[in-house]
Amino acid sequence: MKRVSWVSQAARIAWKDLHIEGRSREVVYTMGFMAALVVLVFSFAFISGQETTVGPDAVAGIMWVAVLFSGTVALSRTFDRERESEAIRSLLLSPVPRSAIYAGKLVATAAIMFLVEVLLAPLLAALFSAAIWPHALWLGLLLLLGTIGFCSVGVIFSAALLRARSRDALLGALLFPIVIPVLLSASRATAYLLDPAAPDLDPALFWTRFLAALDVVFVVVGLWSFEPVVMGE
Amino acid sequence: MLFPMSSARLSSARFQAGIAATLVGFLLVPLLVANAPLEKTMGIVQKIFYFHVPCAWLLMLSTFVCAGGSLAYLFAGSESGDRLALCSAELGVLFGLCVMVTGPLWARAAWGVFWTWDVRLTSSLLLWLMLIAYGLARRYGGTGGRRLAAAMALFAAADVPLVYVSVNLWRGLHPNTKTVSSLAPGMRLPFFVSLVIFSALWGVLLALRMRVERGQARLVELAIEIEDAEGKSS
Amino acid sequence: MSDRVLRLENVGKTFGRHRALAEVSLAFVPGQVAAVLGPNGAGKSTLLGLLSTLSQPSRGRITLGDEQLSRHSPMRAKIGYVGHEPGVYGDLSARQNLRLFASLYGIANGERCIDEMLARVGLDSVRREAAARTFSRGMLQRLALARALLHEPEILLFDEPGAALDPAGAAWLAGELQHEREAGRLVVLVTHDLAATAAIATHVVVLRRGRVARDETRASFSADEVRAIYQEATREKS
């Protein structure tokens, strides 16, 4: 047997998830539909009379709430695939370091979520006439960073909840309090980017950096604690 | 004897002295607080400060102790670390509840609203929610629940400074006037005595709660030994 | 093939308030098929979990030769596990599943191994891109076995492998086990099927309430002998 590098093992696991998703597209469709519904629910709740928009703060909030809620759908579905016919046991029994399993699941889930979010953003632009195009790339970066922060915690929690009966109900309840700082910094930065009247973009830059720092902290804690968490009794 | 049925560790002179000191402290603190000077603008209402701030401090202490215990449990398999984490998380929820009750009372009197998204209050709220989530994970998390909860404690501890910074900036850096360093000289002594006595109470409660958990673990061991003895004889 | 003995010394396992295994001392020898029998809740699956390194004993120790059985990755690569769930991805085809695990195990010339393995378990004629979820139970079990054998494990563990198989499938599986035994692999299977045990086992362990009630090694067992051992070991004493 040859030695396989940590990175290529993680990449194999991520590729496996993406390949499965490419075949079924189940997560993209269900998560995308869920995200669109959250956005629409907010539209009905917030917009009244002749208004067509709700202001950058609210649009940013709506976007990130949609990401959070639909993200739990993505997480629980990608981990359902591990639980069906106990594939997770084969994965845990393989000589792959558990941190590589974590990294692989993180990359795959974040990639799937990111794809949906990229499709979601134009919907927001259309529904609320939000100015997403002037800083489209920056906004994309924010979505990516926010998604990584969310998934870095979510992957651990979903893996640990695989054997819990009420895992779907618990996932959000346990995950949201921890990822509030991610939500806060991501939606703040987004609000500044979406605001055409913003005098300068320094706050957005600050929050983007803060979000990146958050990601680093969460991913490090995640890589480090995944092994003992999935170790089993 | 304060505790007629106490185990060897709890009946030690040192522990009983601790309990006695805490009790004396709770007689002393109200006197000190009553004699502390009145705050200029808020008057008598400000006295809740002597209760509110120590509770908030213990909420944070509980979070870090919970994370420390969880660390020992996750990486060294320490069962007592796990018990420490559980007990301190419970105390954190309890003292957090005190923060959540006294905070709005103070806010109502000081600013006319029950809730302000003040950085300390909001951070405390998030910390409190994390500890409640810790309890949910332990109770309903299935076989992996204990390990999941331990991981949550680690994330919560990592979150503490991040939450503080992000909430602070989210609210746009408004001036904080009610900081400890700006306390009037006459208020400092009662405040610090109160802080110490509340911490002592926390320590006593933790020791008592840990004792219950230890006893329970011992009981399980004994039950298993009995089962074993039966298993052998049958 | 290695000749290391898998040895349990005074192993105990508790789950919270429940003692699943107590004072279990056993030795599993390569070139033998060990069948672990026992009523439900006797601790069979717990034992298999410990041998697979997915859980750790609360007491005692498990060694392979003079190495402690640990959950570290080089040790995991020596173990092949076939559970009653197949442990493969239903959305991937048989070949894709094997390819994934071959790459995770770092198997050199994986494609050739996969071809050989698919032919061996009789899945080489299956439509290439058919997802595993369209397979029958029997085909899934064949795929699970292929996955477990792909990295040439030193120890092969089976958790009720024949439970979902028809008689022909069960006979095929028995033949495969025989083959692995003759190749000198250490095989441990947990089962309820006394007749199948008689056909292949050379070592019978009966667990009862988490303890070893019987531990017998013979050149072969007849179905009646297995039944007698099982009944004698699990009879309630009043």
pLDDT digits (tens, 9 = 90+) for C168-224: 888 888 888 888 888 889 999 998 888 888 888 899 999 988 899 999 898 888 888
Residues of A in contact with B156 (CB under 8 A): 177-178
Q: What is the model's pLDDT at position B172?
A: 58
pLDDT tops 60 at residue B234 = no
Q: A106: domain range?
A: 10-230
Contacts of C90 (CB under 8 A, 6+ apart): A81, A84, A85, A87, C131, C132, C133
Instruction: For residues A36 and A120, give the distance between their C-alpha atoms in angstroms, rounded to a whole number.
Output: 7
Both structure tokens of B169: 């900036």
Q: Between C117 and B230, whose confidence is greater?
A: C117
Query: How confident is residue B18, by pLDDT bands cut at 50, 70 and 90?
Result: confident
Report the range of poorest mean pLDDT among B40-44, B75-79, B132-136, B200-204. B40-44
Q: Residue C124 CB: number of other CB atoms within 10 A? A: 15
Question: What CA–CA distances, in Å, run from C161 to C145, C171, C190?
Answer: 9, 12, 8
Q: Return residues 100-119 of C near A (CB < 8 Å).
A: 100-101, 103-108
Q: What are the residues facing C14 on neighbouring strands?
A: C19
Place of tokens 């979000």: A211
Are C22 and B220 in contact (CB < 8 Å)?
no
State whether residue B224 sits within 8 Å of chain C by CB.
yes
Q: What is the model's pLDDT at position B21?
A: 84
Both structure tokens of C217: 């090694």
Residues of C in contact with B224 (CB under 8 A): 14, 17, 19
Residues of A in contact with B82 (CB under 8 A): none
Contact predicate B107/B116, CB 8 Å: yes
Residues of A in contact with B130 (CB under 8 A): 177-178
3-state secondary structure of C21: strand
Amino acid at site C11: V
Q: What are the residues facing C215 on neighbouring strands?
A: C205
Element (H, E) at C188: strand C186-190
Residues of C in contact with B227 (CB under 8 A): 19
Mean confidence (pLDDT) of chain B: 84
Contacts of A169 (CB under 8 A, 6+ apart): none
Residues of A with CB under 8 A from a CB of C: 1-4, 8-9, 12-13, 16, 19-20, 23-24, 81, 84-87, 89-97, 231-233
Contacts of C55 (CB under 8 A, 6+ apart): A232, A233, C13, C46, C49
Q: Between B179 and A180, whose confidence is greater?
A: A180
Query: How confident is residue B61, by pLDDT bands cut at 50, 70 and 90?
Result: very high
What is the ipTM, given to two decimal places? 0.90
Q: B94: domain range?
A: 13-37+46-173+185-233
> Has residue A1 been placed in a domain?
no
State whether residue B228 sits within 8 Å of chain C by CB.
yes
Are B224 and C19 in contact (CB < 8 Å)?
yes
Question: Domains in chain A: how many in total?
Answer: 1
> Has residue B59 been placed in a domain?
yes
Are A233 and C55 in contact (CB < 8 Å)?
yes
Contact predicate C157/C189, CB 8 Å: yes
Residues of B in contact with A188 (CB under 8 A): 169-170
Are C131 and A23 in contact (CB < 8 Å)?
yes
Query: How confident is residue B110, by pLDDT bands cut at 50, 70 and 90?
Result: confident
Instruction: For residues C147 and C87, give the distance between their C-alpha atoms in angstroms, rounded to a whole number.
Output: 9
Q: What are the residues facing C62 on neighbouring strands?
A: C8
- Dihedral sign, CA of C125, C127, C133, C135? negative
> Has residue B8 been placed in a domain?
no
Nearest CA to B138 out of A82, A150, A161 is that of A161
Instruction: For residues B19 and B26, give the distance between their C-alpha atoms in angstroms, rounded to a whole number.
Output: 11
Instruction: For residues B133 and B140, give the distance between their C-alpha atoms in angstroms, rounded to a whole number.
Output: 10
Amino acid at site A129: S
Q: Residue C136 CB: number of other CB atoms within 10 A? A: 12
With a cut of 50, which residues of chain C have pLDDT below it? 238
B81 CA: distance to closest CA in chain A (Å): 14
Residues of C in contact with B228 (CB under 8 A): 19, 22-23
Neighbours of chain C (3+ CB pairs under 8 A): A, B
Minimal Cβ distance to C22: which of B223, B231, B234: B231
Minimal Cβ distance to A166: which of B75, B140, B158: B140
Nearest CA to B59 out of B151, B148, B134 is that of B134
Residues of B in contact with C22 (CB under 8 A): 228, 231
Q: What is the mean pLDDT of residues B2-9?
A: 45
Instruction: For residues A23 and A25, give the distance between their C-alpha atoms in angstroms, rounded to a whole number.
Output: 6
C231 CA: distance to closest CA in chain B (Å): 15
Both structure tokens of A24: 């079924």
With a cut of 70, which residues of chain A have pLDDT below it? 1-2, 233
Residues of C in contact with B231 (CB under 8 A): 22, 209-211
pLDDT tops 50 at residue B174 = no
Main-chain phi, psi angles of C93, to 5 degrees: -75, 170
B205 CA: distance to closest CA in chain A (Å): 26
Instruction: For residues A92 and A230, give the distance between their C-alpha atoms in angstroms, rounded to a whole number.
Output: 8
3-state secondary structure of C116: helix
Instruction: For residues B106 and B112, give the distance between their C-alpha atoms in angstroms, rounded to a whole number.
Output: 9
Instruction: For residues B47 and B38, give the distance between their C-alpha atoms in angstroms, rounded to a whole number.
Output: 8
Amino acid at site B35: N
Cα C216 to chain centroid, rounded: 18
Residues of A with CB under 8 A from a CB of B: 153, 156-157, 160-167, 170, 173-174, 177-178, 180-181, 184-185, 188, 206-207, 210, 213-214, 217-218, 221, 225, 228-233
Are C73 and A19 in contact (CB < 8 Å)?
no
Main-chain phi, psi angles of A139, to 5 degrees: -60, -40
Minimal Cβ distance to A86: which of C83, C91, C132: C83
pLDDT tops 50 at residue B173 = no
Instruction: For residues B33 and A189, give the distance between their C-alpha atoms in angstroms, rounded to a whole number.
Output: 44
> Has residue B67 been placed in a domain?
yes
Q: What is the mean pLDDT of residues B127-144?
A: 92
Residues of B in contact with C237 (CB under 8 A): 234
Query: How confident is residue B176, by pLDDT bands cut at 50, 70 and 90?
Result: low
Contacts of A47 (CB under 8 A, 6+ apart): A53, A54
Strand C186-190 and strand C155-159: the pairing is: parallel
Question: Domains in chain B: how many in total?
Answer: 1
Are A156 and B151 in contact (CB < 8 Å)?
yes
Q: What is the model's pLDDT at position B9?
A: 55
Element (H, E) at C82: strand C79-82
> Has residue B87 been placed in a domain?
yes
- DSSP H helical ranges for chain B: 13-35, 49-76, 79-111, 119-140, 145-170, 185-233
A79 to chain C: nearest residue by CA?
A: C89
Both structure tokens of C181: 């035994």
C58 to chain B: nearest residue by CA?
A: B77
Q: What is the model's pLDDT at position A213?
A: 94
Element (H, E) at C196: helix C194-200
Are C17 and B227 in contact (CB < 8 Å)?
no
> Has residue A3 been placed in a domain?
no
Minimal Cβ distance to B227: which of C19, C236, C237: C19
State whether residue C205 sits within 8 Å of chain A by CB.
no
Nearest CA to C152 out of A7, A95, A91 is that of A95
Residues of A in contact with C76 (CB under 8 A): 93-95
Instruction: For residues A100 and B49, give the distance between their C-alpha atoms in angstroms, rounded to a whole number.
Output: 49
> Has residue A2 been placed in a domain?
no
